[in-house]
Amino acid sequence: MRLLRCLIVSGSAAAMAGAVTFSGATATGVAAPARTSHAPSARFLAEARTALAHYLRHNHPQAMLAHTGRTQAVKNVVAASAFNWAGYADTATKAQTFTKVSGSWTVPSVTCSAEDQITSGWVGLDGFNSTTVEQLGTTSWCYQGKAVYYNWYEIYPKAVHQVSTALQPGDKVTASVTRTGTSYAFKLTDSTTSGNDISVTKTCALAICKDTSAEWISERPSFSTGIAPQAHYNAFKITNGSQTSSGHTGSIGAGPGVNSITMIDSTQTYNLSTVSTLTGGNSFSTTWKNSY
């Protein structure tokens, strides 16, 4: 889920290495309204978790920037287009500029068809203008026509960890990544459903994790076979978006560099997810337009 600057899509570049780790979690899901009204069975959820582990083990979740530097009406905000990101990224050129990123959102529900589709919402450090990423968030995944929801954290290039036990659409979560020296504290609190909190600390050397960006992103991950179709999510809205850079805590709009990212299709013809302007400097929403 780190960002590679490129002008065209020439295939996915590897970003995530290592095994996928599940920590004894039991994912939960709700059925697509058009297909069935009952929750997936335990057997189905077990099959979904196995498929998800395989999916992530072979994925290449590197975001790809199509355009940047386009004119935008909002002062001091640079408009960019990416093939699998929508949201905002604050950037700097000096290493170790950012020490914290945080935000709140409601886990979006998804409307599923027979096609496997996925969407992830997250906050993180690095990834926009560096080759690492330290992030955590939630994923809404359509698997065989049913919706499965889970949360996770990652410090690339180590494994993605799924830790949810009962994540539901509509759950209100607050997430943050805080760096102290070489230590990264990942924290996610689900104030709606118990059993879904994350609180873990990992390390990354300063020479590897540059901390030159902070992000608030809605994403459709990319894999060895290409970028996954984006699940039709009902809403993704970040509130209370905050970052700490050069020792000062401010909103998304406080910068230092503020980038607004629209997700576009591979032909660069139409939008897959649009992004709103900032409200109060710390809130915005992305809107689903198409899957691929």
Residue-wise pLDDT for 208-234, tens only, equals: 999 999 999 999 987 777 888 999 999
SS3 assignment, position 230: strand
User: Please, which pLDDT band fits residue 70 given cuts at 50, 70 and 90?
Assistant: low
CATH number for the domain spanning 253: value is 2.60.120.700
What domain range includes position 193?
Answer: 3-288
Token pair belonging to 125: 């450090």
Nearby residues of 277 by Cβ (< 8 Å), 6 or more positions away: 74, 77, 260, 284
H-helix or E-strand spanning residue 187: strand 183-190
Spatial contact of 4 and 128, defined as CB atoms under 8 Å apart: no
Number of compact structural domains in the chain: 1
* DSSP code, position 279: B
User: Please, which pLDDT band fits residue 249 given cuts at 50, 70 and 90?
Assistant: very high
In the predicted structure, residue 14 carries a pLDDT above the cut 50: no
3-state helix/strand/coil string of 94-157: CCCCEEEEEEEEECCCEECCCCCEEEEEEEEECCCCCCCCEEEEEEEEEECCEEEEEEEEEECC
SS3 assignment, position 179: strand
pTM score, whole prediction: 0.85
